[in-house]
Every structure is written in structure tokens, then in C-alpha cells.
Structure 1
């Protein structure tokens, strides 16, 4: 046996015979006994340490055994004490227990066996206690460092133990919670309110007030246990406040995405209806020029159609499906022009100070949509200040913006355009719904699409919108726009049409009413028009009619849709000018079209269509004919140079 593993036992006995008997007995039992005949020497040996047990005679001539016990406990409280006495009494036994003596042994004829057993039991018990203390300390360390609050309750739900997380989550030291009822921490309506948040999952939550006055939501788990014969309950309280807030934001985002997809689909169908209706009205106006009353009615209906077109435009902006024409913008210049208009529009009762960082970098956005967004915010501010007030417009550069809590912060730079008012402000409940589509506080006169449109525009532009508001303090809306990394050329508008058009147009649309009106627009201005209702028919016509000058196609069609038709048509006729018209466009797929492909959004007026088609034909005529490889079925001299 390794001597370092042999338990050392200190025997404090003034009778030599008894001390020697104990020494030999313990030595044969596998211990390493050490003798001391005096109290002072025993104290010094105990202070030096290293003993696994102490065998102590009660009657010592040079001092009290209790003094030795005191030193032993001070030196190492884990060392068990076996008290040996020739004349025992209940009072001595009671005091021994009170002083932490482990074993109490009377000298008798069986002392040899008794002392071996007592030392063995004492050391075994000490080891068990040390192991329990280690496990207890380990469990306490784990419990105190767990993120969840761990509590122990009695049958009356009084807190008997609370882990360290109580202070991190609630702000209360665990000692402050001992003896308190669990119900004292819970808001009176906390459980009912929490259950109402997720009735489908029947998730029980406790709404608790923290020490600094905040409220947190705790998800409890309780398990009944028995401590000896006493009923107890172990509870684990998990702070799910941030988790629920994140889930609510994520669910809200998913709802908005679903509504956006539905809205975009409705807008597409509605735009097709408006295109057919407004086109028919324009043609009707031509027929009733000499009948003022009929023409006035038709023009009024056309104006209503344009209002409907603006509504669908707002819907597409909310759904982030509108076709944007972004370019590099200098905000100070744009804001200055808009403020000039707003001062005339809003009147003298509203002052409009501006705070612009003149060296703010250019932003990348659609100027028309940005002006519409600012006008929308200004009108909202005016409605919030019926007696007048201040509308402040500011521009400044900002740092990175976290657009998605699941992603790392983007490293793009942003410029913030803010519009602030001194109006009535919004309550937290109203603010939470402010960007929801069709939510309005203006009654019948509000569409509920204003802020949702601005928000959709900002997100589609690669930025975001933030709204800050308090009742009685006003509202500030921030539009975050990405900095333009490089200058982008402004798209050139087609020149106005002079005289009548000339050229052959292949017109493709699956809506027969739209096909009729657009065909009439073009024929009425001098173009030759071939109309087909599907992409496959269009390819067949292109292959059989070589003198088609322009392809005008709808975007969304069953079967072969607009982008696929354009791709296959370009394989047949690489130099063919193309105009894509759409009531609803997926920005990603439109971006994949070749740059020379023009796009128009339905509904549009006759003049706009004629201008685009004429510009495409004029541009093709001015360009030199490209050299192309022959088609696989063509002879060596049969090269398609276009018309």
C-alpha cells in the first residue's frame, strides 16, 4: 500500500497502556497511528494537519478535551473526532454531539474492536460528508450560474431557495426572496395576460415585476418532490421576454410577407382591369369629341381610373414589388425642392425648419418614390397638427443598420432622412400597428397605406424605416437609405413623338380586352400591329414574319411568360427591340432582363406607350445592323440581318 494513501490517525491519550493498545490495534487495521500524551502537543500536531481522524481521551491531566476538539475543528473541520471516556454520562455525550464529535466510545473489554470500528465509521462518514459537500457545492455552482431561476417552494408556495439567476433576471438577491410567497412576484393579471398571447399552445407564462419596475415574462416548470417526509416543489422559471418579442416580430414579418404577396397578386389583376378600362375610355373620348357631356363623363371616369392606378401603386409599394428607377441622389438638393413645395401646400400655420448635413453622401434611390414618401409623411404630420406646429426635416449620415436580427449587421453606409412633427403623437398600441396595411386613425378619409407604402419603398431600396412617437410629444419618421457607392446614369426618357408612327409591332397579352385597347392605341397612331395571346404564338409569328420591328409583351402570362419569351425571341432575333409591360413585376426577374429591354408598368396612357414604341423603332433604325451567325437550318448565304 502506498504510504501516502494510508489514513493517519492522531491518538491523544495520557495512559501509556491504553495509547499503545490503540496504536497497535489501528496499525493492524491498516491505519498510520500517531501518539500524543499532552494537550499542547496534540494541538500543534493538529495545526500541522494531515490527519484523517482524531481519537481523543476525555480526561486529560494537562487540559480540556474540548480545547483539542476546538483546535481540530479550526484546523480542518472535515477531520472526524472519536471521543473515548472511561466513565460516560448523558451530559458528556450531549456536549460531544453539540461540539461536532463524530463517535462517542466508552473504554471496555472490547475496546480493541470498538476503537477500530469507531475510527472506520468516523472516517467513512467524513468521506461521505465531504462528497456530499462537494456535490452540494457543485450543484449550487451549477444552479447559481444557470440562466433560468431555480426555486424551492414549500406546500404554501413560500420560497425556501432561489438561485443566483433571480438577481440577474429580477434584480433581487436570492436572500431577499427567502420566506416570500411566489405570488408576491407575479403581477395580478400576469398569468391571464400571458395565456392570452398564445392560446393555441396553451403556454402558461408569469408576468413578473423586476426590482427596477420593468416587467418580464417567465415560463414556469414545476415538479413536486419530497424532502424526507415533507412535500416540496422545485420550480424552474425561464425568462422568455426577448424570445417572445422576437417571435412576435418574426410572426409580424411573416404576416406582412403573406399580405404583401396577396396584395401584389391583387394589384396585378386590378392593373390589368384598369388598363383595359382606361384604354377603352381613351378610345371612347376620341369618338365623342363633338359631344361635350359624353366626353366629360368619359374623362371623369378616366380620372377615377387614374386614382385606382395610384392605389395599386401604393399596394405594390407596400408589397415591395413596385418597379423602382434608382439613381444617385443628392438629398440636400432634393429636400430643398420638396420643402419649397410643402411650404406652399401646408400653409403658414406649419413652420418647416430644415437641418441638413451638407456634406452627406449621395444616396441610391428612386427620386420620384422618395418625393412621394416625403409628401406622404408631410401630409400625415399636417393631420396630426390641426392647429399648426413645426414640421422638421433633417438629413444626416448614419452607421450600419441591422435589417434582420438573424443576420450580422450590414457594413453598408446609410443616410437618414427624418421627418418630425410636434403633433399629437401615437400610443404604443397605435405605434405597433402604424405600418400595417389598411390601418388608419383618420377614419373613412384614410386609406391606411401611407406608412406601409413608405416602409415598403425604404426596404425595397435596401434600407429601412423607423417610427418614434409618444403621446403629446409628436412623431419622428426616419427613412434609412443606402449610400450610392458609385454614380449611376439617369435613364433617358424617350423623345416626344412627332407625326404618326411607322413600323410593325408584335403585341402579346393574355388579356383579350388589354390586347384590343393597346392594339387600337398603336394602330390609331400609324403602326402596323400583329396581336397574339400567348408566348408560343408570338415565337411562331416571329419566326414566320421577318419584318417585325418591335416586340411588346405582357410580363405575367400562363405558359411561356414575358421574360422567357424575351429570352427565346432574342435567340431568333438578337437585335429585336423589346418592351415589357406589366401590372405586377418581380424586381429580381426584371433586373435579370438585358439592359436594352424597356419596361412599362400598367396601367399607362396611350401617349406613353406610343412614345416608348416609337423610340425603340427609331433607335433600331439609327443603329448599324449587327453581324449574326446563320441559323442552323439556313444556307451559307442566308444571313438574317433583321429588317
Structure 2
């Protein structure tokens, strides 16, 4: 049987007790010796009777002195035991916190003076210096001020503080949440950098939407003014008293009014949110139109050069969306230059030659870049960024453009142009007719007969993806019910209606996807459940036995086959006792 190690802190209390007992012993001996001398002296003076009386007094004094020392030693002993217990409890909690390597968030155990007594691996990953029992919270996180430290070390109630701190991974926004216990505080460290960045993007997008509404109102008023000007100019041009110079001026007024009306119409289209329309069957014309808008929007001196390497077929984006993406990315690329230069728009299809080597087949690949004046612009002037770019690395405009492209199966890549300046490569997928895609589905007739007539719940946030899948499934004979929000989807799930299969988008459920999907399985235990994720990394492995995961960019054939696999899983659950 292993012996329990004696805490190090107990030895100093043991030495203190021995020292007190030694002092008490010396004091007692000295007192007895003194009293003994006094007793002999008094006895010699007064006789035997006085000797007995003094003896009783001395005995009582010695007993009182001894009891006093015993009480003092007992009080000090209790204090030593309590202090030792608290020290050992702090040490055990610190060791327990040190072993919490299964938590994603960091945990710190902090005593009343602000010193660290324990930290799990996730917390140590945020800290640049080595952590020891002599490390203070202030020393490890200098961005915390005195008020923050008082809050986090508060003994009465939980507290929360958010600060931007320098960590081993760079500057991060950390959330400190303290939970007081009897003798120390447990502080939970959470990295909320991405969450704060997303909130900032949402606020910026809301501001852009407000600006769009204002621009829409201005465009309406501007269009009304131009209509009045052009109408009066048209009436004046019909009078016979006009000279040739007057007629030329009126023609110029009409021409410029029509041009202004076109710009106002484009401003109205670009200020709309949730643009819908037919896919673009002539993307080359929209690229030229976007170039014309850039020539108007950029300052004088800029040269907009458009190179179409090959003819482009129909694409999945609408005409307005193509113009919007190219116009905004072109303005962003031009903003990196202090002076006017060349804005180059290069368009072609996916191939093995750079910059069209996208590794995925896109009908249209468009590169938007800005160069210095007089620079030689060619297809070899661009190279792909070596760094991995995430959504958080993009600004608001780039994020909106990227989301718009990814909804349709496209992509936005950052490139480097000559001089190391950033530019953008846009990949837009081609358009396939629903009839052709259904005919091309490599699904046996037996399986088509098997799925025909199924009641299907299709819950996706993207109207484009929802419309595409709805068309395919209706062609296969499924009875499709659409839902584009989490609330509407849960209403269908909680109703008395029984679905044979359900297809839901992972994005609808947010961070509570695991719990919500388990609830759906309980409410519809006999239904097949297919979850569409933005990427394969979003799949929830804890539900792998009950749910089939696919991607939003999967082909209709892959979605149908994944749905049949999910149905087989639901049938297996039905057979279990």
C-alpha cells in the first residue's frame, strides 16, 4: 500500500509548535525555580505555617500557568491544522486543474492574492511565459488592470471580463469568467476572437445595408430628376426655332441624361439585398458592363483593360451578381494604389495554365488586379497566395462576395500580382439545365421507384440551393416540403406529419447543432436524416451512427445516394428492440 506523502507546509507548523513548547518549558522551569527560592526564604522568616500557605499559592500559580500554555498551544495547533488543510486543498485542486487536458477552454486556479495554483494545457497554450506557483495573474496577462483583477478575485459572485491579450498565437480576444469557491477562484479562459470578428462583420454588413438603402433612395430621386431633364430636352428638340448649336446641346443633354439613368438603374440593382433573377447566359457582356461602371467609378487616369481569353458559356450567377462582384473587387484592388494605374480584368475558363489552374472546373474564371502605370500585363503576372486564407482574413466586401460565390458552388481566391499587391480570382460554375442533370443521374430505375412518393422535408437557408434540390427531387417523384429557417423546420418536425426523409443544412442550427439534431431524431425516429455541411470538417462524429453528412456543393446524384444511405440507417433503428 502506497504511503501518502506528508505535505511540505506541515513541517513549518510542527517546528513552530516545538518552539512554543520549548519556550513554555523554559518559562515553567524558570518560574518554579524562582518560586522555590522565594519559598525557602519566606519559610525561614515566618516558620512552617507560612511555608504551607505559600506552597498552596505557588501550586495554583503553576497550574494556571501550565493551563494557559496548553490553551495557547492548542489554539496554535488548530490554526496550524486549518492552514495546512487549506494549503493541501489548494494544491490538490491545482493538480486536478493541471490534468484537465480534455477541455477546449482554459482553466486557471487562482488564490486570493492573485497567484496561479493550477492551469490546464489549454490555458498554458495562451500564456507565453512558464507557469509556476509564484506566477501571478497580472504577470501572465499584463492587459488586465487592477479593477479587472479585483473583479476576477471577488469572493462573493461570478464575474466576467473581456480583454485583448498577447498570447503564444498572437493577439487574441480572451473572455475571463471567474467562479469563486471557498478558498480560491476558478477562472475559465475562452478565445472569442472569431466570435468578435464575426460580430464586427455583421455590424459592418448592417451598416452597408443601411448605406444601400440610402443609396437606393438617392438613386430614385436622381432618376426622377434625370427623367424630367430628358423630357424637357426632348420637347425642346422638337421646336423648329432651334439653331444647329441648340440642337447639338439638346442632343448632349439627352445623351448624358440617358447615361445617368443607366447608372441610376445599376445603383438601384446593386443596392438591393437578396438579388434574384435568371442565371447569366452571356457573362462576357456583364464583364464589359462592369468594366464600364469601373471607368465611371474610378478617378481619372485609371485605365481599365479587359482581356477575354476564350468565349464563356452560361454561368450560375445572375447578371447583376457578376457586375456586383467584379465592381466591388475592382474598387478594392484599386484602393491599394496611391496613384492611378491599370485595372486588369482577365477572363477565361478553368485550364492547367495559370492563373486559370483552379483545380476545379469552372465555366468562368475572372482575375481582377491593379497594376502600376506602364506595367506589362500578362497572364503570367499572377501567382496564388501561399498562406491559407480563412473567412476571418477577408474584409466585409470580400466576405460578401465569397459567400455569394460559394452559395452557387463558386470560389474566391486571393492572388498576388506584380509588385506583391493583392488581387482576386473568381471561379463561377457553369449552368446545367434541370432536365439534363436529372437525365444524367446515374441512379438505377429500381432506386428511383423506391424513393418515389416519399414525403421529404428540405430545410436549407440558401434559396438557390433549395430551388435546385427541390427541382431534382420533384423530378424523382418525391413530395417536397420547403423550410428556409430553423423555426419553420422545427415546426414541421414537431407536427403530426411523418416524413420519410429530411435534408437539413448544418448552417441553420448554429453551435447547437448536436443537441438539435438529437432532438429531431427523437421527434422523427423513423425518418432518414441527411445533413448538408459547408465542408467535410463540420460533420459531427458523435452522430455518425444515426446521421449521414454530405456537403452543400455535392452533386444531385451524390445527395440522392446519401439520402438512400440515411434511409437504410433509419430502417436499422426501426428494427432495433
TM-score normalised according to structure 2 size: 0.40
TM-score normalised according to structure 1 size: 0.37
Question: Of the two, which has the highest radius of gyration?
Answer: 1
Query: 1 or 2 for the larger relative contact order (CA 8 Å, sep ≥6)?
Result: 1
